[in-house]
Amino acid sequence: MPQPTTLQRRIDLKRTEGYLLSLAGVRDASVWLTDGELHAYVEVEDGALSEGQIRRHCREDLGPQYTPTAMTLASNRPMAA
């Protein structure tokens, strides 16, 4: 089993993920580290939050070390037939 990197030991990924999931309008979230960068996939209700709003919430409430540097934002907008 691979050992976590130093950065992974210092950052609790579940803290950021749990925080994202607590935001009104967020339906699902996943957070991971790649090459020392904190990434997030966030599924939001259509138009509920922008990437900038999510980043600002994270920075203000969690601090920069828990704010994703890369983010994929998706809405649950239904697909057209």
> Residue 26's domain is classified under what CATH number?
3.30.300.30
Q: Which domain holds residue 11?
A: 6-75
Residue 31 resides in a domain: yes
**Domain annotation covers residue 1:** no
pLDDT, tens only, 13-70: 999 999 999 999 999 999 999 988 999 999 999 888 999 999 999 999 999 999 999 9
For the beta sheet containing 26-34, the strands, ordered from the edge strand earlier in sequence to the opposite edge, are: 26-34, 37-44, 70-75
In sequence order, what are the beta bridge partners of 43? 28, 74
- pLDDT of the residue at 4: 53
13 within domain boundaries: yes
Confidence check: pLDDT of 8 > 50: no
Instruction: Examine the pLDDT at 3 and tell me if it is beyond 60.
Output: no
Q: How many domains does the chain have?
A: 1
pLDDT tier at 78, thresholds 50, 70, 90: low
Q: Is 81 contained in some domain?
A: no
Q: What is the distance between the alpha carbons of residues 7 and 27, in angstroms, rounded to a whole number? A: 27
51 found inside a domain: yes
